A and B are shown apart, each in its own frame.
Chain A
Amino acid sequence: MATTQSRTLAKIMLFPSVTLLLAWMIVPLCMTLYFSFLDYNLLMPGDNEFIGLLNYEFFLTDPAFIESFFNTLLLVGGVLFITIGGGIGLAILLDQAIWGRNYVRIMVLAPFFVMPTVSALVWKNMFMNPVNGLFAHFAEFIGVAPVDFFAELPLFSIIIIVSWQWLPFATLILLTAIQSLDREQLEAADLDGAGPFSKFFYIVLPHLSRAVTAVILIETIFLLSIFAEILVTTSGGPGYASTNITYLIYTQSLLQFDVGGGSAGGIVAVIIANIVAIFLMRLIGKNLEG
């Protein structure tokens, strides 16, 4: 729906964005792919020999990879479970007629704007510290032994912190979706004699399904790359107990300077993310047509 002139212009105007993103994505990705076939360590300057798939073999058979792979799954799955379950509940609650809804909304939303390093440190020191943390004080107050969260439950603790950060996002998106629900549908259901539970399961939940899918996919993209929270709390430990794939690749590349191994890990991470991305793109693609 336009003239040749405007189409030419449109191409020119698209050029910077497309080239920059292409350069940002393709060039480093090709380099990573190339490095992943080399014996390349920054501490050992050498020929950087071509070693085929050896880096992949080492990376994939490393027990640390297996452990961090499952940690990644647990981290993503745990946070999704908490944020979506809690998000649906909170969204429904905030959709009710309550006093001071705007203040409630602001309080619920606030954690999302706290930078990851701050939230991790505040939780780690002021709440989960086994000696001076609030939880320890509370445990002493009720007379039980305080828990050393990051030594005993490192991954769980990180899941709690990350869930606290992402619950507002899930709530906000689900609340927006609930508010777009046609009230006449609910009134029709009332007339048809539906109770609160059947209304929830037959009307509200199906209406939310798209928003829930969106939350799952978007959160997954970000949660796969959780990094700062691990760095400032446990540094992946004890052992590899709270290391996820992103953190594992970081230690391998920038702490052990194993460029080849880190690159192989990077490619593996890209493949995992791609699997999630395909589903997300389908969802959004469908939406574009609507």
Chain B
Amino acid sequence: MAISKTNKSKVVYTLLAWSISGMLFFPILWTMITSFKTEAEAISATPSLFMFEWTLENYTDVLARSPYFEHFLNSVIISLGASLLGLLIAIPAAWSMAFVQTKRTKNLLMWMLSTKMLPPVGVLIPIYLLFRDFGLLDTRLGLVIVMTLINLPIMVWMLYTYFREIPHEILEAARMDGAGIKEEIFHVLLPIALPGIASTLLLNVILAWNEAFWTLILTAANAAPLTAFIASYSSPEGLFYAKLSAASVMAVVPILILGWFSQKQLVRGLSFGAVK
């Protein structure tokens, strides 16, 4: 009796969970399916889920008619470049705050967090003008700089929470064993913290890949990453559903896969350690 009751509720919960999550996932699924349809089928009044002529022509069209690949490359360079540069700056800072705590450490962390809360419009004009004057508008370098800075607080915070979990006795042991600071960091800290560093990198690549304020404002043709490239579909190309879908799938799928790998780190990173 008891078992069948549990099983019954399991069936109900499973059905409920699958239908709700199916609804939430549907726009993505629909975009993926539409990307394989012809334009005529894509706007058909009796849309079909699977019973249609599957075609790859939208992908070949998007790749042929637009510099998709250049934008893809821009996205890769900007998100990866900013994340690697960010790690380089953030690791020493996180080491300091995690292992050499002072009375000011907490305030410093809070201050770093507060820079993340600065609304971008608060600095929009000066950044735009400075970029114009330094010739950084529509350059990858310019965007790498901006992305590094806006994600630096998250990186420091994430690394800080990971480093805090390493007993400082291990670093002290290395010091007793005759390791200098370089050896302490490269032979002991970094190998131990590698999983945390990898997830920090991953999450920041995702955030930078999807950032769509500065990329839209500071780029035009040359340095535009995929976020800005897709925005050009807002009209009238957006009415070509199949091509819009194909371009969208190509912009989203790489990061979707990365994202699924990093879901646990997402919680820690985006809540600044408030929820673990």
Tell me if chain B binds chain A: yes
Which of A180, A214, A245, A276 contacts B117, CB < 8 Å?
A: A276
Interface residues of A in 5-54 (CB under 8 A from B): 6-7, 9-11, 13-14, 16-18, 20-21, 24-25, 27-29, 31-32, 35
Interface residues of B in 227-276 (CB under 8 A from A): 227-228, 230-231, 233-234, 238-239, 241, 244-245, 248, 251-252, 255-256, 258-260, 263, 266-267, 270-276
Residue pair B248, A28 in contact (C-beta under 8 Å): no
Q: B10's closest neighbor in chain A, by CB?
A: A97
Residue pair B130, A28 in contact (C-beta under 8 Å): yes
**Which residues on B are within 8 Å of A, measured CB to CB?**
6, 9-10, 13-14, 16-18, 20-22, 24-25, 27-28, 30-31, 34, 43, 45-47, 89-90, 92-93, 95-97, 99-102, 106, 108-110, 112-130, 149, 152-153, 156, 168, 181, 206, 209-210, 212-213, 216-217, 226-228, 230-231, 233-234, 238-239, 241, 244-245, 248, 251-252, 255-256, 258-260, 263, 266-267, 270-276
Contact with B along A206-237 (1 / 0, CB 8 A): 00001100100010010011011001110000
Which of B119, B129, B206 contacts A246, CB < 8 Å?
A: B119
* B interface majority secondary structure: helix
Residue pair A98, B14 in contact (C-beta under 8 Å): yes
**Which residues on A are within 8 Å of B, measured CB to CB?**
1-2, 6-7, 9-11, 13-14, 16-18, 20-21, 24-25, 27-29, 31-32, 35, 90, 93-94, 96-101, 103-119, 121-127, 129, 132, 134, 137, 140, 164, 167-169, 172-173, 176-177, 180, 210-211, 214, 218, 221, 224-225, 227-228, 231-233, 245-246, 249-250, 253-254, 259, 262-263, 265-267, 269-270, 272-274, 276-277, 280-281, 283-285, 287-288
Q: Give B269 Cβ to nearest chain A Cβ, in Å.
A: 11
Which of B13, B125, B209 contacts A115, CB < 8 Å?
A: B209
Between A and B, how many residue pairs show CB distances below 8 Å?
Answer: 313
Cβ–Cβ < 8 Å partners of A25 in chain B: 115, 118, 123
Residue pair A104, B256 in contact (C-beta under 8 Å): no
Residue pair A29, B244 in contact (C-beta under 8 Å): no
Residue pair B30, A134 in contact (C-beta under 8 Å): yes
Residue pair A121, B93 in contact (C-beta under 8 Å): no
Complex CA distance for A50 and B252, rounded to whole angstroms: 47
Complex CA distance for A214 and B274, rounded to whole angstroms: 7
Chain A to chain B contacts (Cβ below 8 Å), 6 pairs: A14-B108, A97-B6, A126-B245, A225-B120, A266-B125, A273-B117
Residue pair B117, A177 in contact (C-beta under 8 Å): no
Complex CA distance for A266 and B127, rounded to whole angstroms: 12
Contact (A93, B24) CB under 8 Å given A116-B210, A225-B213: no
Residue pair B20, A249 in contact (C-beta under 8 Å): no
Contact (A21, B100) CB under 8 Å given A126-B241, A221-B117, A280-B117: no
Cβ–Cβ < 8 Å partners of A210 in chain B: 274-275
Cβ–Cβ < 8 Å partners of A267 in chain B: 122
Contact (A111, B267) CB under 8 Å given A98-B14, A117-B227, A117-B231: no
Cβ–Cβ < 8 Å partners of B126 in chain A: 27-29, 31-32, 35
